[in-house]
Structure 1
Amino acid sequence: MSLPQDIWLHIASFIPPLQLEDLYSVNHILFNLAMDQRYQQISLSYLTRKTVRIMERIRDPVIAERVRILYLHPHFVKEVLQKDSSPSNSTILSRLGDFAYHIRDQRLFGRYRSRSPLFRFKTFDEFSLFMANTLSSLPNLVDLHVAWSGLPTIADSPVPIISSAFGPNLRRLWLELSLEKLGLMLPKFSCLPDLEELDLFLRIDHELDPKHYDNILIRFARIVNSLHRTLRKFAIQLWEPIDLSPFFSSLRRLRGLETISLSIPVGNPHLGDPDAVTDFLNLHSASLRSLTIRASELGEWGLTGTSHLSNWFQTTFTPVRLLRLTSLEISLKLIPLESAMICIHKFAGTLRSLVLTGRHLTFHDVETVTSAFPSCRRRLESVRLGSVTLNPQLFDMLAEKLPLLNKLELSVREVVPCEGDYPLYYKNGLDRHDQDESQLVSFYYRPPRRKSESIAHADEVL
């Protein structure tokens, strides 16, 4: 069919991605869309035959220009190093083994197939050169995810491979690595002049001198400072509590920074000196539009409860002034609501969007949150809460307290006909408990009240 290209593109927008890949033979437009879908996002983790085939394919310039997102987990480096350090294949036993595989493959496939793609490369240097040449030939790569952790025995071997994917077109970089490995990567960041999003997930592999870590953090802060023209989003998450005070204290104002995400370890010292974090946030009071805060308990250190975290939270965020903040997201899984209310009260005057998730919020909790927005500062347009117990009085309160609301998302745990009713559950025989349907029927079909009708101003309720 001779249809204009925009019509084919519109048709393709309704086709699921996996089915779109099967339509590559229809015409050249769907062929290009299918190829983009197949190669726009690739992952390189373990050295399988499929991985080698993918690397060979993306060496083709026509395929390479389609790659936009790359997930790189350098476990394969360890495989190659182990093969490289293994005894020579010239022994009689190894030759007999190769001969046995050769006979087997001839019977199964009619031709010789190597036991492993590792045997394509005689040395690690040969493999490293192959990988570096492959990844450096991706001209349109804009999003790179690197998870280099749990591999302390491979030293700095992956650095040439990982850094070969760095290029001037890269806009987002997500790194999961230890502070020691971050130090090895620092000289390679000069290849990222226009980075817009930087996500860090840091951990510690070895117990080294704290001054060594401080030196790495200060040097990394200088690199971040060099991105002051382009960096829009910065996120940091820690596997265990690490004193990041040298890093925050060394940062200058990043003029374009609009979004910050902080994941705070529950244990001491959390993110370090509260004053350093406070100064960093206040330094961006004029540009910051979105702030995400959550607590993490991923490591084995500092599982001391949330009392110390509450004190750190209050000391850090009470002096913060963010004049143009419009979006606030806080996970309440490990952060007490009382601590979160410090930020809500501080930024209520400018907020347009609020997200509070991670724990069950009672009717009183929701009332406390909405009361932080007095009539003179009722500007909230989007709210996401959860989980909650749904009842008509909750809708009434939200409609009355937040009259400008046009999007409401609720994660509902249970539904009751009236505030104060207890949810009724019965055992369904599968070790699960379901709520009594009579309560749901009473909620949905009870006669509407005047206040309940006021929730009609919401465009979307989930």
Structure 2
Amino acid sequence: MDEVLERTPHDVWLNISRFIPRNVLRTLYGVNRNFLEIAVNARYEVVTFFKFDKDTESLCRNLSDPNLGRGALTRHVKIKPWVVQPPSHKRGRSLWNFICGVFDPHYTQRTTNKWVKKRLHNDIERVTDTISGMRNLSEYSLVWKEDRPYHTELYRAFLGPLLTRIHDRLVRLSLNVPPEMLCLLAPISLPRLEHLEIGICTRMLPKKEIDQIFGCFVVFVNNLLPTLKSLSISSRVPSQSLDLTGLFTMLTVFPRLQRFSLSIPFDGTHLSSPPSLVAFLNKHRRTLRHLQLSSSRCSAAESPVDPEAKYWIRNVLTSLETPYPRLHGLNLALRPLKADLTPMLNFTTQHSRKLDDLTLTERALSYFEVKDFLDNIGVYSSRLKHLRLKVQHLNPALLELLASRIPRLSLLELTFGDIVATAAHPGHSGYPAHTTRDEFALFKAEIQANRQLYASWILGTIGIHKESRSPPLSDLLQFLSEVIPALQSIVDLAPKPDTRV
């Protein structure tokens, strides 16, 4: 058996590894020599710094050691700045502090601040030197949680100085930082950057200060004019006085821009004037290949919200100079949840000739609403290769509809609540009429009755996010793998805890 394992080509093991979750793959050092190499690559390809302790110090040594060459394996670095906690003093030291404190009431605080400052300096120096030595690094992410305390020193160091040291390597940059830190980007040049992702949370900053920050930030973004291919902007609560209108007005034309994504709270308060976004998109009408307009949870506004603001996605779509000749990917949040879907249907129909990637989120669609979308696309629905939907229920009629109307679909992602057997009949409530166990049995029986339809479906990957617990997801995934022969990958889309190195 060992001889068979040794003779198996490396490419075979590499293909096997693609079906193993990364957090598991990183632990498989001892399977064989091939897997040792694969596991090491998986462990160091993406490195996350979220604290600095003995383990992090050891990691830095491994990554910096030229004899090991681990740093050369790293393609993506994520930093989630940590909080440095003052040390707990021993009894003798505490007594000394007490004596000093009698004569100087600020002694303890001053000593603690000095220790923290020195520790921050050491942490910054070690992490910065480690990352600077990663010669194959191409992606960098800096993360901020607005509800947690943080050291401004870490963000300043990991934004300005660090970016300056790795500026000639970065192709992809993701920043989610305290808003005032965005000003540090203005003098930085990233000559190879193609993908920029920015998360914005301004909390209680006044509008005047936000506008000043954007004035600096837009200098950095506009300097990416020769290389930028993908721009993603997201805002979130709390951002009381945030308005992205001015930002879109100041942005230049990026001749290579192919992907654009915007996510704001669904009430539209972060975009007071959708025409500014429309004008920006129309400037890139001939280059855009993928457009995403999505939403997040609602914000708290300073003043009453314009009731029309929540229709910002609809208003943007109906105002664009359509069609966009190269658009082949579309990701739309169907908001408000009970709004008329006609504008989204019309925009999708206008681009159906080239559309091969469609994502519809937020609103749980009925079987008939999914059918309406496919009917509007008409014969071009067969061109779709990637489809992501949120639906009310998973039922045989829906799968039959997708298999028959989209035979070339290679990736399908579905989010749904329940599994029901017969939700496609007119007048049916769509809710399970039997116990969960019986409903699933009927569901399987109806699917198996049309098994021939799925035999020719080339669907290779299916992702499932089932919001109910019963029946077990494993039972559903096993059944789907049996009836759809082409399936090579089945993914559980349920949110997973963060995994870090």
Structure-2 change in CA distance of 1:6 and 1:164 (3 Å): farther
Q: What percent identity do the matched residue pairs reach?
A: 21
Determine helix, strand or coil for the equivalent of 1:201: strand
Q: Out of 130-139 and 10-19, give the one that drifted further.
A: 10-19
2:82 corresponds to 1:46:
no
Whole-angstrom CA distance in 1 between matches of 2:400 and 2:28: 50
Aligned to 1:104: none
Whole-angstrom CA distance in 1 between matches of 2:330 and 2:301: 28
From 223, 226, 232, the equivalent of 2:223 is 226
2:134 corresponds to 1:128:
no
Q: What's the CA shift for 1:121?
A: 8.8
Whole-angstrom CA distance in 1 between matches of 2:15 and 2:454: 34
Aligned to 2:236: 239
Q: Is the 8 A contact 1:231 1:254 kept in 2?
A: yes
Aligned to 1:354: 358
Whole-angstrom CA distance in 2 between matches of 1:458 and 1:194: 41
Cα offsets for 1:65-103 (capped at 9, x unmatched)? 22222110112xx416x56xx99998453799xxxxxxx
| TM-score, L = length of structure 1 | 0.76
Whole-angstrom CA distance in 2 between matches of 1:35 and 1:263: 36
Whole-angstrom CA distance in 2 between matches of 1:304 and 1:362: 33
Q: Is the 8 A contact 1:21 1:37 kept in 2?
A: no
Aligned to 2:16: 14
Aligned to 1:265: 265
Aligned to 1:146: 142
2:440 corresponds to 1:443:
no
Whole-angstrom CA distance in 1 between matches of 2:441 and 2:303: 43
Number of matched pairs: 421
Q: What's the CA shift for 1:309?
A: 4.3
Q: Is the 8 A contact 2:290 2:329 kept in 1?
A: yes
Cα offsets for 1:339-370 (capped at 9, x unmatched)? 53353244334322222233322233123212
2:331 corresponds to 1:329:
yes
Once the two structures are superposed, the pairs formed by residues 23-172 of structure 1 within 5 Å of their partners are 23=29, 32-61=37-66, 62-75=69-82, 78-79=83-84, 82=86, 91=93, 93=95, 122-150=118-146, 154-166=151-163, 167=166, 168-172=168-172
Determine helix, strand or coil for the equivalent of 1:158: helix
| TM-score, L = length of structure 2 | 0.71
Cα offsets for 1:379-428 (capped at 9, x unmatched)? 6323333325455655676577x47754473636333245234443556x
Q: Is the 8 A contact 1:290 1:328 kept in 2?
A: yes
Letter in 2 for 1:332: L
Aligned to 2:313: 313
Structure-2 change in CA distance of 1:442 and 1:362 (3 Å): same
Q: What's the CA shift for 1:226?
A: 1.9
Whole-angstrom CA distance in 1 between matches of 2:150 and 2:162: 22
Structure-2 change in CA distance of 1:50 and 1:95 (3 Å): farther
Structure-2 change in CA distance of 1:301 and 1:121 (3 Å): closer
Q: What's the CA shift for 1:439?
A: 3.3
Once the two structures are superposed, the pairs formed by residues 249-398 of structure 1 within 5 Å of their partners are 249-297=249-297, 299-301=299-301, 308-320=308-320, 321=322, 322-332=324-334, 336=339, 338=341, 340-375=344-379, 380-382=383-385, 383-389=387-393, 394=398
Letter in 2 for 1:278: V
Which sections of structure 2, spanning at least 5 residues, go unmatched?
99-113, 463-501
Whole-angstrom CA distance in 1 between matches of 2:185 and 2:90: 33
Which sections of structure 1, spanning at least 5 residues, go unmatched?
97-117, 428-432
Whole-angstrom CA distance in 2 between matches of 1:341 and 1:457: 29
Whole-angstrom CA distance in 2 between matches of 1:186 and 1:161: 15
Whole-angstrom CA distance in 1 between matches of 2:60 and 2:307: 50
Q: Is the 8 A contact 1:135 1:161 kept in 2?
A: no
Q: Is the 8 A contact 1:415 1:443 kept in 2?
A: no
Whole-angstrom CA distance in 2 between matches of 1:456 and 1:293: 35
Whole-angstrom CA distance in 2 between matches of 1:159 and 1:295: 30
Cα offsets for 1:265-297 (capped at 9, x unmatched)? 123423342111001111111111111221111
Whole-angstrom CA distance in 2 between matches of 1:309 and 1:398: 34
Letter in 2 for 1:384: R
Q: Is the 8 A contact 1:328 1:353 kept in 2?
A: yes
Q: What's the CA shift for 1:257?
A: 1.4
Calculate the aligned-residue CA RMSD, in Å. 4.0
Aligned to 2:432: 424
